[in-house]
Chain A
Amino acid sequence: GENVEQHPSTLSVQEGDSAVIKCTYSDSASNYFPWYKQELGKRPQLIIDIRSNVGEKKDQRIAVTLNKTAKHFSLHITETQPEDSAVYFCAALFGNEKLTFGTGTRLTIIP
């Protein structure tokens, strides 16, 4: 079935260091992979997304890489700041209809 696995479930990094979160998906036909950030008590909000026709996308300190052959994609946050502390979710669109999320990564930035 359609499934997205996300690792790690928790991640602590020193302020200024980089953070990497990884996801794998089950359906090789999936073509859209967004990343969402959810702050405590708030709704998830899109931070970056990537489509299957590119291997990497960058937006300032945030980048996403996609390996379609291996069916995995990763979020990279560089020069982390305290405001990066949140829960991050990866997602994949299955059958061009079903937006399925990973289990989330709680990122803590240590000052």
Chain B
Amino acid sequence: NAGVTQTPKFRILKIGQSMTLQCTQDMNHNYMYWYRQDPGMGLKLIYYSVGAGITDKGEVPNGYNVSRSTTEDFPLRLELAAPSQTSVYFCASTAADGVMNTEAFFGQGTRLTVV
């Protein structure tokens, strides 16, 4: 199993550009999450999804959008990139069923710089 795969690993954007961070998992997990991690800081939840067609805002959703058309994929869209969005982005998935929750697996991260 590949687990959780994120692309790209690195990206430099100019202010005002847009991009999509891709995340796909092959574990048939229903829950997926996007976090951002600023240098030396913790993981802040951007958006999450409990299943295909369902998404919800986390702690820091402004400037981002997500979609969940399939169980496997959970892309994160940045519109009008700003320097404040410079960060490392992690996607994660878990097989949580609402009762017994299991390990969340993380992708390798996408390091984004906005200049």
- Taking a contact as CB atoms closer than 8 A, the residue among B43, B59, B96, B106 that contacts A96 in the complex is B96
The stretch of A12-20, A40-48, A65-73, A78-86 in contact with B is: A40-48
Contacts of A44 in B (CB 8 A): 43, 90, 106
Bitwise interface map of A from 95 to 106 toward B, beta carbon under 8 Å scored 1, else 0: 011111111100
Number of chain A residues whose Cβ lies closer than 8 Å to a Cβ of chain B: 21
Q: How many B residues face the partner with a CB closer than 8 A?
A: 27
By the criterion CB–CB under 8 Å, are B106 and A45 in contact?
yes
Asked, given contacts A43-B90, A43-B107, A96-B96, whether A101 binds B101 with beta carbons under 8 Å apart, the answer is: no
**Known interface pairs A43-B90, A46-B104; A96-B99 also in contact (CB < 8 Å):** yes
The residues in A between 7 and 66 inclusive whose CB is less than 8 angstroms from any CB of B are 31-32, 34, 43-46, 49, 51
| A89 with B96: CB separation less than 8 A | no
0/1 per residue, B88-113, Cβ < 8 Å to A?
00101010101111011011110000
Residues of B within 8 A of A100 (CB): 45, 59
**Is the pair A46, B103 in contact by a Cβ cutoff of 8 Å?**
yes
For residue A93, CB closer than 8 A to chain B, the reply is yes
Give B48-72 interface residues, CB cut-off 8 Å to A: 48, 50, 56, 58-59
Complex CA gap A98/B100 in Å reads 14
Asked if B74 is an interface residue, CB under 8 A from chain A, the answer is no
Evaluate contact between A99 and B107: CB separation under 8 angstroms: no
Complex: A6 Cα to B43 Cα, angstroms: 12
Q: Across the interface, do B98 and A43 meet the contact criterion of CB distance under 8 Å?
A: no
Q: What is the bound-complex CA distance between A103 and B38, given in angstroms?
A: 11
Q: Which 5 A-B pairs have the closest CB atoms?
A: A103-B42, A43-B106, A101-B43, A32-B101, A96-B98
Are the CB atoms of A99 and B106 closer together than 8 Å?
Answer: no
A45-B108 Cα distance, complex, nearest whole Å: 11
Q: How far is the CB of A60 from chain B (nearest CB, A)?
A: 17
**B56:A99 contact, CB within 8 angstroms:** no
